[in-house]
């Protein structure tokens, strides 16, 4: 964990140093320790530090939310993107842009929470119908169906409203460049509260992994656990989506890396995700800055390119295991 923390610190330092504008190491250190109001200070404090902080905050939210969702649904392919939470948050944001003409990220925040909550409630309700209750397969199918339906509705709204399309197309790709310190301060309490809720259900997620009957026999209150876990996912994924857009695959991939390092105990998986996910997201953002200089690839594109092969590997691995 200490080494992972050092890796996160190194990723943040690299993020502050990297960019289209050449700022030397000495000038960067001077700007961080004794800012004098020069150009280097403005670049560091108004561009790179908020961008790095956005990556850290969004990464923590997406990573821990993905771990909670995988534990709650007993589905290793679950994540905020796979189960429709990101799609619900994105649809709520585009409606806010088009109908209410909301333009600030702080304003997006509450609509993102509402969309994520409604999506989570819909997926869980739909996945609970029929025999067997909320099985992993039914939840995944319900999430895929909701994502397709809400994605079509989002496209329809943006095509009908040109101004909403212009705002939404920069937000939906997934970027760490739009949030400022005020937006981060507004999102941080929701992320902290979501982390507290996730910590509260860590032990119960271990028993849920054994099956619902076994969890009940061990004294786990399944309804309370599900409510707290879903609320944690809504707060964490909703906050991350509000400030960075619907970034894919981070919440899916990182819990598997954490599980490989620490084992199946969610009381350890979630802290590891809180360190590894922002590291992955910040490094992906740095990679997007340096690959096609002087242009930039937004972080959502980079995580999609890196995460899709990993997702295919997971699907093939599970298919082989079943055979």
Tell me the C-alpha to C-alpha distance, in Å, between residue 166 and each of 122, 170, 209, 295: 29, 7, 43, 19
- As to burial, measured by CB atoms within 10 angstroms (0-12 exposed, 13-18 middle, 19+ buried), residue 26 is exposed
Structural domain for 173, as ranges: 2-14+52-322
Is residue 259 in some structural domain? Answer: yes
pLDDT-derived band at 54, boundaries 50, 70, 90 = very high
> What is the band of 134 on the pLDDT scale with cuts at 50, 70, 90?
low
Tens-place pLDDT, residues 247-262: 878 888 899 999 989 9
| 38 is a domain residue | no
**Res 244 pLDDT > 50:** yes
Judge whether 293 lies within some domain: yes
CB atoms within 10 A of CB 215: 19
Q: What is the pTM of this model?
A: 0.87
- The pLDDT confidence band at residue 164, using thresholds 50, 70 and 90, is low
CATH code for the domain in which residue 160 is found = 1.10.3470.10
Better pLDDT: 141 or 58: 58
Asked if residue 79 is part of any domain, the answer here is yes
Within-domain flag for 21: no
CB contact burial 74-88 (16+ within 10 A = b; e otherwise): bbbbbbbbbbbbbbb
Residue 36 lies in a domain: no
The Cα–Cα gap between 198 and 65 comes to 8
Chain segment 180-214, per-residue pLDDT in tens: 788 888 889 999 999 999 999 999 998 988 877 78
Total number of domains in the chain: 1
Structural domain includes residue 98: yes
Domain assignment present for residue 37? The answer is no
């Amino acid at each position: 964990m200490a080494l992972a923390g050092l890796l996160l610190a190194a990723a943040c330092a690299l993020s502050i140093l990297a960019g289209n504008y050449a700022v030397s190491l000495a000038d960067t250190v001077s700007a961080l320790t004794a800012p004098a109001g020069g150009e280097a200070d403005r670049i560091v404090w108004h561009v790179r530090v908020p961008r790095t902080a956005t990556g850290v905050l969004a990464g923590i939210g997406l990573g821990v939310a993905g771990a909670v969702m995988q534990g709650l649904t007993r589905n290793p392919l679950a994540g905020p993107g796979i189960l429709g939470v990101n799609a619900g948050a994105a649809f709520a944001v585009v409606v806010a842009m088009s109908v209410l003409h909301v333009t600030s990220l702080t304003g997006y925040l509450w609509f993102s929470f509402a969309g994520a909550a409604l999506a989570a409630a819909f997926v869980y309700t739909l996945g609970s119908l029929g025999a067997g209750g909320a099985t992993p397969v039914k939840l995944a199918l319900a999430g895929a169906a909701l994502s397709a339906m809400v994605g079509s509705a989002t496209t329809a709204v943006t095509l009908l409203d040109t101004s909403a399309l212009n705002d939404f197309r920069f937000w939906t790709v997934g970027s760490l460049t739009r949030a400022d310190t005020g937006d981060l301060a507004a999102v941080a309490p929701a992320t902290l509260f979501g982390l507290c809720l996730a910590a509260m259900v860590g032990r119960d997620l271990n028993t849920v992994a054994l099956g619902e009957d076994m969890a009940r026999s061990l004294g786990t209150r399944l309804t309370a656990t599900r409510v707290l876990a879903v609320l944690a996912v809504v707060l964490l994924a909703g906050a991350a989506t509000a400030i960075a857009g619907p970034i894919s695959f981070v919440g899916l991939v990182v819990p598997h890396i954490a599980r490989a390092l620490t084992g199946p105990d969610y009381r350890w998986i979630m802290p590891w995700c809180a360190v590894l996910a922002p590291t992955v997201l910040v490094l992906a953002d740095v990679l997007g800055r340096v690959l096609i200089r002087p242009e930039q690839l937004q972080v959502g594109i980079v995580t999609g390119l890196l995460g899709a092969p990993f997702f295919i590997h997971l699907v093939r691995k599970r298919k082989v295991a079943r055979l």
